[in-house]
Structure 1
Amino acid sequence: MRASLVLVLVFALAGCGAAAAPPAATVREPGCRPAEDAASFGAGSVRVCPVGEDRRYALYEPRALGREPVPLIVALHGVGGPQATPAGTAQASRLGALADAESVAVAYADGNGTWSHADDAYFSALFDDVARHRAIDPRRVYVIGWSGGGFMVHRIACRLADRVAAVAVLQAPLRGDCRPSAPVSVLQIVGEADPVIPVAGGTLPDGTRAPKLTTAMARWRRLAACDRPTIRSDEGIFNQLADCDGGASVDLIALEGGGHVWYGPDQPAPDNKVDATQEAWRFFAAHPKARGQRTTSDVGGATER
């Protein structure tokens, strides 16, 4: 299979048979199928849809959705642990409840447990494939990711800025090459006591390095041509807000004492003081693509159900 620049995940397929017999053909499903663990995602419908030869994603749709174009949130799981799957991310994030309340479709990307710098093509194909199954508003496409998935979200914002309006990243700061082709809004959410991806930067458990958070945020503001940020702090929550070119924003929420989790009401204090999912949605709702900004594809109508 493929090798990640972050972690390597190997799936070995072995078989035996008579020497004269040809290898069995791989049977691939032609379209989406109901998810076996649908209850993990919420009260709506969830289907697992193939992308390419060996990739997939889970598409969650509230039952009340009509045929009109709706916003899309693409969610990326972490690397390792219980949140390294679409279902684990759905449970930790409670995005299904948000989708039901706000009439939003959610596509849970599947990196087979990890993410690679070679995944750009996968995400382009995912955006296109979702539009085959669900009418999506191309100016309201958003991406959110946690931990190792957060690093990949930054890459999407850098490499596929014309496909997304805004992104939200939990923990992981911007690193690597970044040359966004269009304005994109960025919300960074961190815990100041995160023991895995420390805000001071340094070497991570997988041997790679993360920059200092303040350095990474300043870099995003330069890339987005932002004004000087405004700062406010209240009851252990620090906010840094910057308005940027093209109607974009680069914002930061830092939680005093916050650890390495998806912050929300189900977490122990102080990680329950910020609801990262609700904060991300408020940010997304306020930052659609400005009219006149280019989007790669017109995904206003679905062609397949």
Structure 2
Amino acid sequence: MLPANLDRSYILCVPSKLKADPEPVPLVLAFHGGGENADASVFQSRTQWEVSGLNNEFIVAYPNGCGTNTRLPGQATRLVCDSTGFNLSWNAEGGDPRGVAELCGIDDHAFVEQVIADIQTRYPLKQDKIFAVGHSKGGAFSYSLACDLSTTFAAIGVTAATLSDASCQPSNAVSIFHVHNLRDPVIPFAGGGVDPDFQWPPVTPGLELWARVNGCTLSIDGHDFGDDVCAKANCPAGLQVELCLVDATGDTTVDPVSAHRYLTYDEAFRLRNYNKKKNVYKNVRDAFAERYLE
């Protein structure tokens, strides 16, 4: 559980118009990947959810995960849960792979509830418009939040991740938007990974679980993605389970981490009439906002 003396942090972005207007607004919680942080020089600058928030009038929070005070975990003497720490990660409440937050039993779900409550003391929120989005470990954590806090989140947006919480038993429907590169070597679509210490489950079972929870029918195997690259489940009104697949070869000399971070979405959203030169994280951001926030 979370040590009582452990400080947590998050970056809050509120459009100036909302500061003067007390009307309830949506909230997007954006979770960085493992080894990253929420700092403007890293995750926030890549995704720039606040730009979409300014255009569509919603609040964005970038929480920080927990890590260590040194780059080498074996030499760490304390936990650090802000942008000065190393190896920051999230407790996705599942099996392998386990990062610092899971090994130390950090209660990240409670932290997220505290973040939402803290924001609500300052700004009114639309309770049916709270969303979680995340990349890599942040995406796995978004899945975990949907599992355990399904009455809180209306939808999640996941990129380059998978559902790693084997005990997932949501009590409420949550819409899912998932984007994955078929050639991602770090978190492969079919499961596994290049690092023997970080093996991931396949993507499809998690999507099938959410299709069942949401009362949808979903067929991924054998689906002809064609130029559309995205497959939507047949869901009841107001719910979605959507998968966008990419077969992005990119530069074959690119290292696995770069392929995981940067090749994942460029080709997919080029085919969806996005500018190929745009930041790939922002392409996913715009696609999610288009579906749930406009």
* TM-score w.r.t. length of structure 2: 0.71
Task: Answer yes or no: is 1:76 the counterpart of 2:31.
Answer: yes
Q: Aligned match of 2:38 in 45, 65, 85?
A: 85
Task: Answer 1 or 2: which has greater helix percent.
Answer: 2
Q: What secondary structure sits across from 1:210 in the alignment?
A: coil
Q: What secondary structure sits across from 2:232 in the alignment?
A: strand
Matches of 2:2 and 2:193, distance apart in 1: 24
Aligned letter for 1:71? P
How many angstroms does 1:57 deviate by?
1.2
Task: Answer 1 or 2: which has greater strand percent.
Answer: 1
For residue 192 of structure 2, what is the aligned residue in structure 1? Answer: 202
For residue 151 of structure 1, what is the aligned residue in structure 2? Answer: 140
Q: May I ask how many residue pairs the two structures share in their alignment?
A: 236
Matches of 2:240 and 2:280, distance apart in 1: 25
Task: Answer yes or no: is 1:257 the counterpart of 2:224.
Answer: no
Distance 1:206 1:71, change over 3 A: farther
Task: Answer yes or no: is 1:96 the counterpart of 2:87.
Answer: no
For residue 161 of structure 1, what is the aligned residue in structure 2? Answer: 150
Alignment of 1:239-278 (within 5 A): 239-245=230-236, 247-257=238-248, 259-261=259-261, 263=265, 272=280, 275-278=283-286
Q: What secondary structure sits across from 2:121 in the alignment?
A: helix
Distance 1:140 1:270, change over 3 A: closer
Task: Answer yes or no: is 1:114 the counterpart of 2:89.
Answer: yes
Matches of 2:244 and 2:109, distance apart in 1: 27
C-alpha deviations, 1:10-57, integer Å up to 9, x for none? xxxxxxxxxxxxxxxxxxxxxxxxxxxxxxxxxxxxxxxxx9851121
C-alpha deviations, 1:280-302, integer Å up to 9, x for none? 1123238xxxxxxxxxxxxxxxx
How many angstroms does 1:190 deviate by?
0.9
Contact 1:173 1:210 survives alignment (8 Å): yes
Q: What secondary structure sits across from 2:27 in the alignment?
A: strand
More divergent stretch after superposition (253-262 vs 67-76): 253-262
Structure 2 gaps, min length 5:
66-80, 82-87, 94-106, 250-258
CA RMSD across the alignment: 3.1
C-alpha deviations, 1:46-87, integer Å up to 9, x for none? xxxxx985112111011122221111100001111xx43342
Q: What secondary structure sits across from 1:149 in the alignment?
A: helix
More divergent stretch after superposition (125-134 vs 267-276): 267-276
How many angstroms does 1:274 deviate by?
8.3
Q: What secondary structure sits across from 1:278 in the alignment?
A: helix
Distance 1:232 1:101, change over 3 A: farther
Structure 1 gaps, min length 5:
4-50, 287-305
For residue 184 of structure 1, what is the aligned residue in structure 2? Answer: 174
* TM-score w.r.t. length of structure 1: 0.69
